[in-house]
Amino acid sequence: MWLETLCLLVIVVVALYKYLTKDYQHWTKLGLAQDEPTFPFGSLLGELVKGKKASCDLLREQYERHNTKVYGGYVFLNPILVIRDPELAKIVLVRDFNNFVDRSGMISPDRSKHSTVTDKIWNRQLTTLSGDEWKSVRSSLSPIFTSGKMKVMFALMQHVSNEFLDTIRKHSEKDEAFELKDLCGRFTMDSISSCAIGFNAGSFHEDETIFVKNAKGLFKRSGWAMFLFVLSLVPGMNALLGRLGISISRPQETRFFYNLIKASIEARRKSGEQRNDLIDLMIRIMKDEEITTGEDELDQFENDAKLKGPVKKAEFDELTLIANAMVMLLAGYETTATTMTWALFEIARSEEIQRKLWEEVQQFDDPSYTDFMNMPYLDCVVNESLRKYPQATAISRGSQENYILEDVNIPIKKGMDVYVNVVGIHYDPQNYPNPNEFNPDNFTREAKATRHPYAFLPFGHGPRACIGMRFALLELKMALFYAVKNFELLKCDETPEVIEFDPKSGFTSSKHPLIIKARPRS
Ligand code: HEM
């Protein structure tokens, strides 16, 4: 009897496995090269979930294994299409945007309905909203970072830059080596909290303020958080977790920011104070005041990012405001800090790059916002840092309808996800000769003219691209400018020679601490 039961069990398990993995040959059947999936994670997530490989390395390897414009892959049991070609990236991200509005794994209305309060906050953020709801919130928030508004934030960032310099000075006076990520994290935390919610995070004055502790907590990858995240990707699980009162997001830290931002809004309303920061701008949006954008403020990236056609006006309630003030803190903290870290590290490693940058920055005593936007070599160094160390190694979009991707003639089913392999494109020698080398000259006007404009995607592209790009660029430029103008950045015994990416980080971070020294310029 037990033998029959065992045989039956084996048959059921095999049949179930066959059923679940029935789509694992989806791309091969269409004649397209694919990355071989392993059950149950597919071809993309397994290594990442196990923390064995950084996404930067994994996606680069996958890109280099293929030589077609697109290739197939799998996330769990689902086929995804991966783009290697900048022109096809443009078609998906910009030209046919109306079919590719959402990122993959976007929330379903069902998930929203049954989620816990703290998950609801996450569900109202720009990063996770979908369809018309996203369009209306995004169009309300878009004018927030135009160059006119950035000039006001520039003044707030000056104060943070001074604290940044004081900290480097203290290390240099003691001839002490210092770790860059910690320093840059303090810079970006203070500038985003001050510009977004008018809150002085005080990062430069304490080892770890309660603000920083909670912000870091939101990014920490514990086994439980990872388990819940992976579970939430399984269809139907979000709603179930919500019904059981289990938060996918980190409830304690989310509540901390919810309370902080709410208190900031209330204080602002009571005092009537105008700081012209994000909270002010969002309160004006809630009151239905028009925030204008001068068309002449928009560059090519932003013109591509404009939403075309009629957009329903957002219902901008207080929860939406808090959720989006919070997402600015989150999306703007680690991404910018990590890029800044790499940029300062590369400057310290190359005497020649540092000399060229120094020659440029020393021409300015007290640069204005416009000056910062017009320093060509500084711009090249920042762009090269974003190329070599893209914080989002891939960009994803879900297809809203059955769709044929032109040129390669590949059918994409409704609901299927398309990924653009950003890091692969950034390291393709056809786009950037000697891609492992840090070479700011990749971004001279002449070099850019020889390349497809979509071969550079650190902030994504199109209407769903990074809303905080101008803010991030200004922070990066200010930090690099003041550091190089006031100090010689130097390698020291602790500076790593070989770069390795951290497989445990969700960003393109270094596995080893990036440590340098600084000497005051006379
Ligand atoms: C070096 C720094 C940064 C990098 C590399 C970066 C990169 C990105 C990327 C690649 C995306 C996805 C784009 C797409 O899907 O096409 C994104 C989205 C986003 N970023 Fe950034 N970002 C940075 C800084 C910031 C800052 C400073 C803020 C806020 C102040 C911010 C806020 C956002 C938001 C809210 C979204 C979601 C936009 C939407 O879905 O409508 N980011 N970012």
Q: What are the domain boundaries of the chain?
A: 114-393+458-485
pLDDT score of 210 more than 60: yes
Average pLDDT estimate for 213-235: 73
Residue 17 confidence (pLDDT): 81
Best of 141, 384, 459 to mutate for ligand 1, by most ligand atoms within 8 A of CB? 459
- To the nearest 10°, report the CA torsion of 282, 286, 289, 295: 50
Q: Greater confidence, 196 or 521?
A: 521
| Model pLDDT, residue 461 | 96
- Taking CA atoms only, the protein residue closest to ligand 1 atom 21 is 466
User: Among 310, 285, 278, which residue's Cα sits nearest to residue 471?
Assistant: 278
Higher pLDDT, 293 or 269: 269
Scanning 374-418, the segments in alpha helix (DSSP H) are 376-388
State whether the beta carbon of 479 lies less than 6 angstroms from ligand 1: no
What mean pLDDT comes out for the span 110-126?
73
**pLDDT given at position 107:** 42
Instruction: Say if ligand 1 is within 6 A of residue 472 CB.
Output: yes
How many other C-beta atoms lie within 10 A of the C-beta of residue 185?
22
Distance CA 110, CA 89 (A): 30
- Ligand 1 centroid to 73 CA: how many Å? 25
Taking phi first (over 0 means left), then psi (-120 to 50 degrees means alpha), and beta for anything else, what does residue 94 get? alpha
CATH code for the part of the protein at 114-393+458-485: 1.10.630.10
Alpha-carbon span 359 to 363, nearest angstrom: 7
Our CA dihedral for 226, 421, 328, 105, rounded to 10 degrees, sits at -50
Residue appearing with tokens 């001074």: 162
**pLDDT per residue over 375-409, tens digit each?**
999 999 999 999 999 999 999 999 999 999 999 99
What's the pLDDT score for residue 469?
A: 94
* Long-range contacts at 427-434 (CB < 8 A, ≥ 24 apart): 427/60, 427/63, 428/63, 428/84, 428/455, 431/86, 431/455, 432/387
pLDDT higher at 263 or 1: 263
Q: What is the mean pLDDT of the chain?
A: 88
Is residue 63's pLDDT more than 90? yes
Output the pLDDT for position 407. 94
What's the CA gap between 464 and 305, in Å, rounded?
A: 7
- Provide the pLDDT for residue 110: 46
Q: What phi and psi values does residue 397 have, to the nearest 5 degrees? A: -145, 140
Cα distances (Å, whole numbers) of residue 97 to 41, 73, 93, 253, 302: 28, 22, 5, 34, 14
Q: At what angle do helices 131-141 and 318-349 cross, to 10 degrees?
A: 70
Return the C-alpha torsion angle 271, 274, 280, 284, nearest 10: 90
Q: What is the largest CA-CA distance in the chain?
A: 89
- Residue with the smallest CA separation from ligand 1 atom 2 is 336
Which residue in 395, 399, 312 sits closest to 98, CA to CA? Answer: 399
For ligand 1, say whether the CB of 399 is within 6 Å of any of its atoms.
no
> Phi first, then psi: what are they for 318, rounded to 5°?
-65, -35
Residue 127 CA: distances (Å) to CA of 12, 60, 94, 135: 40, 25, 17, 11
Amino acid at 31: G
| C-alpha span between 497 and 437 (Å, rounded) | 13
Check if 459 has its Cβ closer than 6 Å to any atom of ligand 1: yes
Instruction: For residues 219-247, give the mean pLDDT.
Output: 71
Residue 112 has pLDDT above 60, yes or no: no
Host H or E run for residue 83:
strand 78-83
The rounded Å distance from CA 465 to ligand 1 centre is 7
Q: Rounded distance, CA 156 to CA 465, Å?
A: 25
The predicted pLDDT at position 386 comes to: 98
Mean pLDDT of 78-86: 96
What's the ipTM?
A: 0.99
- Mean pLDDT: which of 218-227, 302-311, 481-490 is highest? 481-490
Distance of CA 387 from the midpoint of ligand 1 (Å): 15
Which pair of structure tokens corresponds to residue 84?
Answer: 């290697």
Which two structure tokens, joined as six digits, stand for 172? 């240099």
- Predicted local distance difference test score (pLDDT) of residue 108: 47
Residue 13 pLDDT: 86
Q: Is the CB of 466 under 6 A from ligand 1?
A: yes
pLDDT at 109 over 50: no
Residue 357 reports pLDDT greater than 50:
yes
Q: Is the pLDDT of residue 180 over 70?
A: yes
Mean per-residue pLDDT for 100-118?
66
**How far is it, in rounded angstroms, from Cα 123 to Cα 72?**
29
Q: Which two three-digit tokens encode residue 427?
A: 């390291």
Instruction: Kindly report, residue by residue over 28-38, the tens digit of the pLDDT.
Output: 999 999 999 98
Q: Is 466 annotated to bind ligand?
A: yes
pLDDT of 313 higher than 70 = no
